[in-house]
Amino acid sequence: MACTVFTIANQKGGVGKTTTAVNLAAALAEQKIHTLVVDLDPQANATSALGIEKTEGKSLYGPLRGEGSAFEMLTPTAWPHLALIPSEVDLAAIEIELAQQPNYLMRLRSVLDPLRNSGGYRAIIIDCPPALGMLSMNSLAAADHLLIALQCEYMALEGLGQILKVVDRLKTAGINPTLDVGGIVMTMFDSRTNLSRQVVEEVRQHLSSKLFETVIPRTVRLSEAPSFGKPILSYDPHGPGATAYRALGKEIAARFKLTENGA
């Protein structure tokens, strides 16, 4: 059973990146697709959002330094078919340490390859820090597909161009020649404003093949759910946020054939 690795990266913070990582993973798991979230952000927001306490020594900090393996960091969650590799504040130090290692952009790939080849997971979703630093670049080098969470505001469009250039550089440099922009998720959509509709339309005009049909609405419940340690599918299962992420999960499962081969 093949495993597909997605990274959700954006150098801009506050765009719904972690919200999308956690809730997309929950939506895939709800379809009985064995899914692993890798929290690569030292702030550990994805870890908290899944109700897991931050624990010293429970992150990829050690494995990225050559100490231990990713298997030792696997943590079950309260939801069937959904596991987590947590984060911790010590992971911030790896930004400096990685730069001193040979093949520093390939460290995460080498750490995750045994997991992806184990047959235990159909999808791995990496949540990155809100910057294109060493951790985010490692995630792009390790991923099959980049999913871009894009807030429905014009300033977000500038960041989109920057991350697309980074993808091109990684491909042409041979670091990850098969890296694909798997899709753009429009987040924080406010149906009451013309601006949200205009931003979605502009992205559709230029990158229609990459834009997911599902648009994630701006809702209070989506903002509240992480403080309760639950994905929106559990916190407000019948609300618009949960409905949107379920639809996105089905769209991504279909686009990348995640339900094939007995997932």
With CA atoms as reference, report the closest residue to 233 among 25, 7, 15, 2. Answer: 25
Provide the mean pLDDT of the chain. 92
61-88 pLDDT tens trace: 999 999 999 999 999 999 999 999 999 9
Are 207 and 184 in contact by the 8 Å Cβ rule? The answer is: yes
Rounded-to-integer distance, Cα 8 and Cα 148, Å: 6
Q: In the structure, what pLDDT confidence band is assigned to residue 13 with cuts at 50, 70 and 90?
A: low
Are 32 and 20 in contact by the 8 Å Cβ rule? The answer is: no
133-180 pLDDT tens trace: 899 999 999 999 999 998 877 777 777 888 899 999 999 999 999 999
Q: How many residues does the chain have?
A: 263
The CATH code of the domain at 4-255 is: 3.40.50.300
Residue showing tokens 């969650």: 77
Comparing 103 with 245, the larger pLDDT belongs to 245
Residue showing tokens 């991923």: 143
Rounded-to-integer distance, Cα 68 and Cα 55, Å: 16
pLDDT value, residue 199: 80
pLDDT value, residue 16: 80
35-55 mean pLDDT: 96
Rounded-to-integer distance, Cα 19 and Cα 8, Å: 10
Q: Sheet containing 35-39: give its strands across.
A: 75-76, 82-85, 35-39, 123-127, 4-8, 145-151, 180-189, 211-217
122-135 mean pLDDT: 93
For residue 123, count other CB atoms closer than 10 A to its CB: 26
Count how many Cα atoms sit within 13 Å of the Cα of residue 139 in the half-sphere of its side chain: 30
Residue 263 scores a pLDDT above 70: no
Residue 26 scores a pLDDT above 60: yes
User: Would you list the domain boundaries of the chain?
Assistant: 4-255
Backbone angles phi, psi at 37, to 5 degrees: -95, 130
